[in-house]
Amino acid sequence: MELISMILFSFCSIVILFLFPCLFKLFDSVRRTLPLPPGSLGWPYIGETFQLYSQNPNVFFASKVKRYGSIFKTHILGCPCVMISSPEAAKFVLVTRAHLFKPTFPASKEKMLGKQAIFFHQGDYHTKLRKLVLRAFMPEAIKNIVPDIESLAKDSIQSWEGRLITTFQEMKTYTFNVALLSIFGKDEVLYREDLKRCYYILEKGYNSMPINLPGTLFNKSMKARKELAQIVAKILSTRRQMKLDHTDLLASFMGDKEGLTDEQIADNIIGVIFAARDTTASVMTWILKYLGENPSVLQAVTEEQEAIIKSNSGDDEKAPSLSWADTKKMPITSRVIQETLRVASILSFTFREAAEDVEYQGYLIPKGWKVLPLFRNIHHSPEIFPDPEKFDPSRFEVAPKPNTFMPFGNGTHSCPGNELAKIEMLILLHHLTTKYRWSMVGSNSGIQYGPFALPQNGLPIRLTKKL
């Protein structure tokens, strides 16, 4: 009897041993019988990349939503993707179920920025990096560099005076210099030209296919990235030898307690430059366009900024420098920035990657697929923002509903540098509107794409000083 029991036990164990994986596979296959979201993956490998980046993204997104609904699949930059276009879905991915969707970028950007950059991580490492970045970008830290940002703004504007400029290119230079200031402090001027030369080559390959063959954009960009990391290593070495106190982002990264490697520091510095430069420059370009097209709004902003000068100077005709407190007296100008961020929606979407199979609204989002919350669709929804194509800063006199306005993302991975971006825009607008006037040159109705939407030809303008 005992022998029979042992045989039965052994038989059952064997059955369970072999049956359990089958049951698991059956369960997994049941999950995978969930349909993928509707949509098209386009051409092999290329997908629908060119359709997205060669036209108004509103057209691409609107046509997809109209045909497939608020969730659909596509294939861009070498990645199968699921795009979602409702506030509820954005909250699901970025906040309530954020642990299921790790931050990511296309392969080309990951390799160029560096795998240790904050964008590609979550958990303890991301939390540590975010604290280090916020330490350098919190109001207390930014207050200390307001005079230096103002100096950069004034120098930039003076260099534009009396000549035809391409707004976007000049704004890129300004925002690049502010980014370097926030990272390296006043030491940045020693390395500015070398950093600029390498970074300008690197950025050309951000949205290229990751084909590392001689002569390709990706190959040239990766060489520039290697040189950029070498420059950062040189700066790190110099600082360690000098042993001086600094309060910039690099100093935050170099803190002994943090234990970051030189590679991790370099990856994150390159990442911060990437995050701080083109997006802010694009917003500034659109602001000048919208103000130029809306004289009444420009007048309101100008009067607000002139009132600050008057309140600070009294009878003294020479206006004093701006202070942190002054930037908090600019509600109209701040609403202009908010409305520009909404209408222009420089970041049409953000990238996440499903860390496991996820079910959403009856559809399967497979593990490894990119998931893209469409900020642009949400910002241009007539149900959320009536007459969405109209530039109307007054709509921000009332705070927007949660998860409907996300120019800097949402959740734990929202942009930690948004306060710095706002300050550099406010300071530049203060000096532009109070001391200068500008006129747009040529046709100002066109828009160019790739990857950011910009006024045609980067908005050529002519800047003159007010008499």
Distance (Å, whole) CA 305 – CA 311: 10
Tokens of 266: 């370099």
Residue 290's CB: how many other CB atoms inside 10 A? 19
For residue 101, how far is the Cα from the chain centroid? 17
Distance (Å, whole) CA 165 – CA 120: 36
Tokens of 30: 């049941």
Distance (Å, whole) CA 411 – CA 422: 19
Contact in structure between 417 and 391 (CB atoms under 8 Å): no
370-373/79-84 β-pairing: parallel
Helix axes of 124-137 and 262-276: crossing angle, nearest 10 degrees: 60
415 marked ligand binding residue: yes
**Amino acid at site 294:** N
Backbone angles phi, psi at 436, to 5 degrees: -135, 165
Distance (Å, whole) CA 270 – CA 206: 12
Backbone angles phi, psi at 404, to 5 degrees: -110, -15
Contact in structure between 287 and 429 (CB atoms under 8 Å): yes
> Residue ranges of the alpha helices (H) in 119-261?
124-137, 139-143, 146-160, 167-184, 188-203, 217-242, 249-254
Contact in structure between 91 and 403 (CB atoms under 8 Å): yes
Contact in structure between 297 and 393 (CB atoms under 8 Å): yes
Residue 287's CB: how many other CB atoms inside 10 A? 24
131-161 exposure pattern, b = at least 16 Cβ within 10 A, e = fewer: ebbebbbeeebbeebbebbbebbbebbeebe
Distance (Å, whole) CA 463 – CA 160: 6
**Measuring CA to CA, which residue among 304, 313, 348 is closest to residue 83?**
348
**Measuring CA to CA, which residue among 64, 366, 54, 355 is closest to residue 207?**
54
Provide the annotated binding site: 415
Provide the annotated binding site for heme: 415
